[in-house]
Amino acid sequence: MELYLVGGAVRDLLLGRVPVELDFAFSAAMADFLAAHPDARPVGKSVRVCLWRGHECMPLRGGSLAADLLARDLTVNAMALDSHGLLHVHPQALADLRARRLRPASPTALSDDPARVFRLARFAACWPDWQVDEEAYAQMRALPAVALAALPAERVGRELRKALAAPLPGRFLETLAEGNALTPWFAELETAAAIPAGPAPWHDSSVLGHTMRIMNLTAGAPLAVWMALCHDLGKIGTAPHLLPHHYGHEQRGAALASNLVQRLRLPALFRKAGALAAAEHMKAGMLPRLRPGTRRDLLWRVHQAGLSAPFWRMVDADSKSQISAEARRQLDALLAVRLPPQWRNKGELSARKLRELHCRTLAEQPVHPAPSA
């Protein structure tokens, strides 16, 4: 029985990276592997995967190493290293690795497992200098929406969350849009490429283009990237005769962000963050010009939600200014306010009194205009 190190771990070793996960394949039946490795155990509902010493192991697909390599998702992942250190690769793997090209390993690679569409888009976001091969887009476009709709929501959501942490997260949506694969999981954005983001001089691109740009500007802060994805969702519902203006898109966007979270079964924090970004980003972009009471309520809502850092990072990117610095300064002033003892522990009355003190504090402070980013 031969045991092979397979997939992305081999790719990363050839690229000089430290592999994140080590996956193995073996040239035997599952029963034979389990008999030879008593400390291995089957995992999940699959009859083809087992866990051995913390690593996933499975029999070679197709019964041979050559067939297994052709059955993988991408050529650059179709690699195996045997116990003697000998490298086995897909016929196009090394050329595509040198060219930084994401190419399906076979003509049916994506239809064999449609979840690979989102994995491919995530790779594109993680590796900005890699090119998605036209064959990948052709296979994506050939997939019926029903094939994507049949995927478990958790698999799609998992790839999205990894893409949110990527160096160029907007490329996740860009790749799906190019492959006509936004529907059904990201159906809100299906028409976004044809809708102007807003009037000049504030916008010069589509809603989709603007969304991807803000996602990329917030890279490095996954929750801020998610808020960037959600902040302008409401613009897709703008009546055509109102374009390029998007009156009331904040309220429409909050509901759409919540729907997207529910569809992808994302954590509750994503629902709160997405709705907040959609509902409050316009007002936040005007923070220095807001009245003290309006400023206080906005700063306090964001603070109470525990989302100040990602929210104001997203606002900076969207407003093309450093509003976050002023937001932090004013929030610090609010947090320094202490309710007098006689007004404490009085429920709603205490809350009203605290708000009065907050508003007075902001009214007495000079407002600094936010410098351009």
Mean pLDDT to the nearest integer, 43-72: 87
Question: What's the number of CA atoms in the CB half-sphere (13 Å) around residue 49?
Answer: 8
Residues near 182 by beta carbon (within 8 Å), at least 6 away in sequence: 173, 176, 189, 190
7 closest CA partner among 89, 84, 85, 95: 89
- Residue 85 gets which letter from DSSP? S
* Encoded amino acid at 153, one letter: A
pLDDT in tens, 170-211: 999 999 999 999 999 999 999 999 998 888 777 778 999 999
170: tokens are: 């907007």
Contact 326, 316 (CB under 8 A): no
All CATH 1.10.110 domain ranges in the chain, comma separated: 107-179
What are the pLDDT digits (tens) for 203-260? 778 999 999 999 999 999 999 999 999 999 999 999 998 888 898 899 899 999 999 9
Distance between terminal CA atoms of the chain?
Answer: 60
The pair of structure tokens assigned to 90 is: 């897909």
**What is the CATH T-level fold of the domain 1-99, as seen in this structure?**
Beta Polymerase; domain 2 (3.30.460)
Q: Where do the CATH 3.30.460.10 domains begin and end in the chain?
A: 1-99
What is the overall mean pLDDT for the chain?
Answer: 93
In the predicted model, what is the mean pLDDT of residues 346-364? 93
Q: 100-155, pLDDT tens digit by residue?
A: 999 999 999 999 999 999 999 999 999 999 999 999 999 999 999 999 999 999 99
DSSP assignment string, 19-72 = PS--EEEESS-HHHHHHH-TT-EE-TT-SS-EEETTEEEEEPGGGSHHHHHHTS
Which residues does 233 contact at the CB level (< 8 Å), separation at least 6?
Answer: 188, 189, 252, 253, 256, 257, 260, 278
107-179: CATH topology = Hydrophobic Seed Protein (1.10.110)
Pairing mode, if any, of strands 23-26 and 3-6? antiparallel
